[in-house]
Amino acid sequence: MEGRGGKRCPLQPLLLGILLLLVFFGYGFLSSRRPMPGGLGVGPGVAVGDPDGRPVVALSRMLYPQPKALTPSRSDVLVLTPWLAPIVWEGTFSPEILDEQFRLQNVTVGLTVFAVKKYVAFLRLFLETAEQHFMVGHRVTYYVFTDRPADVPHVLLREGRRLEVLAVRSHARWQDVSMHRMEMISRFSEQRFRHEVDYLVCVDVDMKFRDRVGVEILSPLFGTLHPAFYSADRRAFTYERRPRSQAYIPPDEGDFYYLGGFFGGSVAEVQRLTSACHQAMVLDKANGIEAVWHDESHLNKYLLYHKPTKVLSPEYLWDQQLLGWPSVMKKLRFVAVPKNHKEMRSP
C-alpha cells in the first residue's frame, strides 16, 4: 500500500470502515459477557482431564491482550523451572482467565494457619486482610489451629467463606510449635481436609495480605522462594548441612531455598509432604538432632526430591522491614508483620 509521501491510498476509507465494524462487534460481544464470579449459566463443555484430575473447562468469550510467542512476559526474572513448573511473578498471568477457569471448577481452598499462645494476636489483621485479597470470588475455608479458641476474633466473612477453629496443644519451645504444624496438617488432611477442600494453602500467621493472592498459586504442589535467598547461590542456602539429619542436602545440590511459611497444593500432595516431613522430624528426634531451620529444612529436602509443580516468587511472602521494596517485585502480596520475636515467643 502506497500510504506514505502525500499520495493517499484509495482503499483507506474502506479499511477504516472495516476497522470500525470490527471494533463495534468486538465491543458488542465484550459487553454481553456474563458477570464473572458466581453465576454458572455457561455450558460446562468438559474436555480432557489434567494430571491433577481436574477437568479442563470450556471458557466463555473473553477479551485480553494476546500472548506473543516471541515476547517474554518478563525478561528480568526466571518464569519457568528446568522441570517446566511456572514461577509465578506479576505480569506472567491473567487473573481474569485463571479466575474464570477455577470458578467453573467451583474449587474450594483451605487456608491453614497456626495461632498458638501469643500468636493469636496476629489473627485479626491476618483474617481481615485475607478477606480483601485471598482467593476473592472463590470458596474458602480458614482452618485456624489454636490452643486458645476463645481468643479467635470474630471477623465478618464474605459469602462462600467460613472459618473452622481446630484445637491443638501448645509446646513450650517455639521451634516445636512450628515443627508440629507438619504433623497436624497431615493428620487433619487425612481426617477432614480431603473431604472438605480441593487445595490447601499453609502459611505463617504473623503476616498480612496487601495485594492479590489468588488461584494463580494453585497447583498439585507448590513452594515459595524465600525472600532472603531468591538471588543466592545454592551453596549459600541455609539447608541442613549435617549428614546425620534427614533434612541433609549436600552443597552441590538444591534448586531454590523455599520458605517454611508458605506452601501448598492438592490435599493429597500436601498430606504426602507434611506426613513425610513429620516422619523425618520424628527420626531426627530419635537420633538426637534437630534440623537447623526446623520444619523449613525438611520442607526444602522434600521439595528437592519431589519437584513442585508451581513455584511462587517472593511477591508471595515478603519482609519489607528487612528487605525494602526492590523494583523486581512489582507487587508485595503477603508481607511480614513486624514482631518482637523474644516477646512473642516467651511464655
| Active site members | 296
The piece of 97-105, 151-159, 171-179, 226-234 that touches ligand UDP (CB under 6 A) is 171-179
87: its cell numbers: 514461577
23: its cell numbers: 471494533
> Which residues is 112 bridged to in the sheet?
143, 202
Q: Which CB atom, from 116 or from 303, has the smaller least distance to ligand UDP?
A: 116
The 3-state DSSP class for residue 226 equals coil
Q: How far is the CB of 319 from ligand UDP (least distance, A)?
A: 9
Determine the Cα–Cα distance for residues 208 and 211; give it in Å rounded to an integer.
Answer: 9
> Is 206 among the residues that bind Mn ion (CB under 5 A)?
yes
Contact with ligand UDP (CB under 6 A) among 85, 135, 197, 205: 205
Listing from the earlier edge strand, what are the strands of the sheet with 310-312? Answer: 87-88, 310-312, 221-224, 262-266, 199-203, 108-115, 139-146, 161-167
The footprint of Mn ion on this chain (CB under 5 A) covers a number of residues equal to 2
> Is 230 among the residues that bind ligand UDP (CB under 6 A)?
no
- Torsional class of 324: left (φ above 0), alpha (ψ -120 to 50), beta (otherwise): left
Q: How far is the CB of 173 from ligand UDP (least distance, A)?
A: 9
The piece of 26-34, 114-122, 126-134, 200-208 that touches Mn ion (CB under 5 A) is 200-208
Contact with ligand UDP (CB under 6 A) among 79, 85, 111, 116: 116
Q: How far is the CB of 347 from ligand UDP (least distance, A)?
A: 9
Contact with ligand UDP (CB under 6 A) among 90, 99, 183, 204: 204
Vertex 29: Cα angle to 27 and 30 (nearest 5):
60
- Which position has the grid cell 467451583? 106
> 265, 307 in Cβ contact below 8 A?
no
Contact with ligand UDP (CB under 6 A) among 137, 220, 261, 264: 261
> Which residues is 49 bridged to in the sheet?
55
Buried b (16+ CB within 10 A) or exposed e, 228-247: ebbeeebeebebbbeeebbb
183 makes contact, choosing from Mn ion, ligand UDP, none, with CB < 5 to 8 Å by partner type, with none
Q: Which CB atom, from 114 or from 193, has the smaller least distance to Mn ion?
A: 114
Q: Which CB atom, from 174 or from 229, has the smaller least distance to ligand UDP?
A: 174
Determine the Cα–Cα distance for residues 152 and 145; give it in Å rounded to an integer.
Answer: 10
115 makes contact, choosing from Mn ion, ligand UDP, none, with CB < 5 to 8 Å by partner type, with ligand UDP
Q: Which CB atom, from 100 or from 204, has the smaller least distance to Mn ion?
A: 204
Determine the Cα–Cα distance for residues 56 and 321; give it in Å rounded to an integer.
Answer: 41
345 makes contact, choosing from Mn ion, ligand UDP, none, with CB < 5 to 8 Å by partner type, with ligand UDP
Residues of this chain that interact with ligand UDP (CB under 6 A) are 114-117, 119, 174, 177-178, 204-206, 261, 345
